[in-house]
Structure 1
Amino acid sequence: MSVPRDTPGRVVYRAASSSGSQLALVAPGLVVVLDGGCSPAVLSRLWLEMSEESTSFEGVVQTIPLLGADAVTSFAVAAWEADGPSSAVFSVVTRGAAIVDVHTADAEPRRFSSQGLRPWHLASFSNVTGLRFAGAPDAEGTTGELAISGDELPLVLGVASVDSVMWILDERQTSVVPRERSRPQTAPAAVDDGEITLERAPGRRTGRHGGAPESEAPAANRGRPSRVRIGTQTPFELHVPVCIGRRPRGPRQLSGDQVILAEVPSPTREVSASHLFIVQRGREVVATDLQSTNGTAVTLPGSPRIKLKQGDSIVLPPYSRVEIGDGNVIEILPAAD
């Protein structure tokens, strides 16, 4: 079965809360969730297969090794087959401890797992409104609606460390159930206008909602800051988010935080005033197109160039390149040694 090279709906994930969590790989029409201990060689081969223009569901599943030193004992794969006026058809494979909650328009949600079948359990589902991927330790039961907390991040194309993943086809079947915070909220601290320029980029900043400075947070809870290079400028560390554009303004929802405003030249006005937003969340760098007029092009390492739609987000591994127009190229670099 060949996979249509498009992704209906949207894919969102809850970032990993601990080491050893799962890995999610998202490509057009495909979502794969693996054990976090999967070897880099397997990830590389799998990503190459998922990135092929003519990839197939069977080819992706068969790329995951079941024997040997690199064997993957637990995984789930879902592929979109077709979409009609009121019907989305998916093929789903599970192995080991992986589970997929399948939500449909005409029946109660079904928790799909391997049930001990070898080498895996395969099924097709029609009228799908959403899928939720998680591991066996996850005890959250299925409900009539997919529940999101508002903490989820979008994933258009790439790899992320996750606790769970949701592929949402029908927003009407999605409910918002905020998760309880692990610590009480405090009054926001007094800040300036919430915006800074590259020249004033700080080495540390006040935590979100007036919490302790992030530089004082335990190192295990955050990744080392990646670096961003805009054009031929000297790379800078991503301690705070950066908004890039012809005449950028920081997103309003971040008014309580500092944000770097990076202005780039655009003589033909291909670059929007506020074009691209980049933020590091834990160990991952996420870029979001800010409803730009001419769009954003992204090239991930070893993958073909893709064009983001207005408002799309994507996880950027090191050495990704982002083009926003008029020759302006943004590069994501690893953390400094």
Structure 2
Amino acid sequence: MAVSLRYVSSASPVSLVIATDRTLIALDPGADPRLVEHLWQQVSDGADFESLVGIMPAESAGRPLSFVLIGDIVERADGASLMALVNGPTGFDVAAAGAPQHIAPSGSSPWLRTSLQHVTHVAIGAQTDAATPQLPLAAGVVAVSRVDVSIGHAERETASDAPSSHESSSSVLLDAHADAHDGQTVARVPGSVVVTGPVRLANVPHTPPTKMFGYRVNGGQAFGLDLPHRFGRSPRVASGGDARLVPLLSPTKTVSATHLDVRQVGDAVVVSDLGSTNGTSIIEPGAQWRRLAAGESVAVPAGTFIDLGDGNVIEVMPGVPLA
């Protein structure tokens, strides 16, 4: 297990972030520097959540202080548990128990205190373009427009910039306005059962990639295509296979259990219908919608939309150059 932090630097920061692998505090950029220094010292000394709650002020520099305090992050096999205190309207985004949520006070109270279980990702700040580089952060104080935290095994790390090598790295950008949708939950699952619909990659060059492409479901979180991805109501992969499984909601069962395979091959994104019952439709930039034949594979450019049914639309995101 590991906690990975990445941030987007900004000349006009949205937050001052104090971060370690167990605590994350996001403050108004106008917070008193003496408060920032004091909090950093407490976090560096290993202060727990309750201790930090006791010293978080309602005001700083003569005005109300908006902040997010996340602490007592404890890693577990199925994601982390954590405590959170929010003051002000901004809040934060989280993927917990397989569903994205936006955590912020509601009603007349400016405060919200909560505990969360099975957390795999946390994000504070506005959604950024998939091509916007993120920088790694081990521990420290940074002025940021966004910070992303990934909790889990290395293959589930966040990275909305290009990885510096061909190691497994999945791009995660939690959208504060994204609908709660299982298609935004990505889990790497080693193969265990057989699935029909082999992927045929005819006429696709297997050259080393120079870019990392990605995708998102229904305009939500962006994920990197570092591994093949299988989409469906309850997607599976053949024994010995290696893929990320992306479950989609489909109340009418229009989406097949294992419906679609999307993977990067060299600098091509290959979309493969896996013999789905109700079919797959795609629309490439500047073209018309067309339906794939059952089991058909096709290389598609960035900007392509893939419709699986029941409102599940996948967008192929632009590639980010690899170092």
User: How does the TM-score come out when normalised to structure 1?
Assistant: 0.43
Question: Whose strand proportion is higher, 1 or 2?
Answer: 2
User: How does the TM-score come out when normalised to structure 2?
Assistant: 0.44
